[in-house]
Amino acid sequence: MDSVFERLYKEYHQDVFQFLFYMVKNRQQAEDLSQEVYIRVLRSYHRFQGKSSEKTWLFAIARNVAIDHFRKEKGWKQRLLDRFDLTEQQVKDNKQPLPEEVAILNENVQAMYHCLDKCTLDQKTVIIMRFLQQFSIKETAQMLKWTESKVKTTQHRALKVLQKQMAEISDKGGIHVGKERVE
C-alpha cells in the first residue's frame, strides 16, 4: 500500500468517515465519498506544503466532497427553485432508516439525529465538526476558510434551530415530525 495512504488512513480515516457519514447519513455513500476524498488528497498531496495542518486540509477536502455530492443530487433548476445557495439550505429530510448505532440510544439522541437535518448544510457542518469531531473554533474556521466569528454565529444559529426542533418533537410527544416517523 502507498505509504501516504497508509498513514492518512491510520491517522484520520475513521474521523473523516464519521464526518461524511453524518453529512450524508448513508453508509454506502459515506464509503464512496471517503474514497473520493483520498483520490483528491493523493492527487494533490505533492502540492500540500504544510501551510495549514494536514488535518485541516483533509477535512476541508472532505467538506468539498460532501458539498459536491449534494450538488450532484440536484438538477440545476431544482436547486434554483429550492432556495439557491446549497450551503445555506436545509439539508433534505433524510428518509434513511436509523443506523443501529443510533437506534439503540435514548430518545433524545435519536431526536437529535433527526433534527440535524433541519439545519442548513453549513450549520450541520459546524455542529458535526465542533461537537462530534471535537474541533476547536479555530480549527473549524480554518477547515471552512471562514472567520472564527462566522463559525460562532453559525454554531449559535444551528443550536437555535436544534432547540426549536427538539422542543417541537417533545410537544408532539416523540419523534413524529410532520408526516414522517423516524424509527
Partner 1 sequence: MLGKKEWNETQLEEIIRQLPKIEDKQNPQIIFQNISSRLEKKKRFTWIIPTFASALALLLFFILVPGMFTTKDLSTEGNHSENDSQPELFEENPAVVEDGSEETKPTVDSDQEKRQETSEPIVSSFSTEKLSAIYEQDLQKYDWITFGIPDVQAQNVVPVTVLVGKDDSVTWFEKYKQLAEKLPQSAWGLSEYFPLEGKVSYNDATEVLEIDLPSHTVYAQGSAGYTSFIHSLLETFSSDEKKVQKVVFSTEGQKGFNGHGDYIEELPMEKAKNRGYFLFTPVDSDKTFLVPSDVTFENIESAIQEMKKEISTHMLTPTVPKDMTIERIKTDADAVYIHFSKGQQNGMDQLAAIHFVEAVLLTAKDFGYGAVKFETDDFEEIGPFNLKHPIKVPLAANKAFVNP
Residues in the site for partner 1, rule: CB under 8 A? 1-2, 5-6, 9, 13-14, 17-18, 21-22, 27, 30-31, 34-35, 38-39, 42-44, 46-49, 51, 71-72, 75-77, 80-81, 83-86, 88, 99, 101-102, 105-109, 111-113, 127, 131-132, 156, 159, 162-163, 166-167, 169-171, 173-174
Residue (17 or 146) nearer to partner 1, CB: 17
Q: How many CB atoms lie within 10 A of CB 111?
A: 19
Structural element, H or E, at residue 156:
helix 148-171
Residue (34 or 142) nearer to partner 1, CB: 34
Which cell numbers in the block locate residue 38? 483520498
In whole angstroms, the minimum distance from the beta carbon of 179 to partner 1 comes to 19
Residue (80 or 138) nearer to partner 1, CB: 80
In whole angstroms, the minimum distance from the beta carbon of 45 to partner 1 comes to 10
Query: What is the SS3 assignment for 155?
Result: helix
DSSP letter at 90 equals B
**Secondary structure of 108-129 as H, E, C letters:** HHHHHHHHHHHCEHHHHHHHHH
Which cell numbers in the block locate residue 6? 497508509
Q: Check if the beta carbon of residue 34 is closer than 8 Å to that of residue 16.
A: yes
In whole angstroms, the minimum distance from the beta carbon of 66 to partner 1 comes to 14
Query: Rg of the Cα trace of the chain?
Result: 17
In whole angstroms, the minimum distance from the beta carbon of 149 to partner 1 comes to 16
In whole angstroms, the minimum distance from the beta carbon of 75 to partner 1 comes to 5
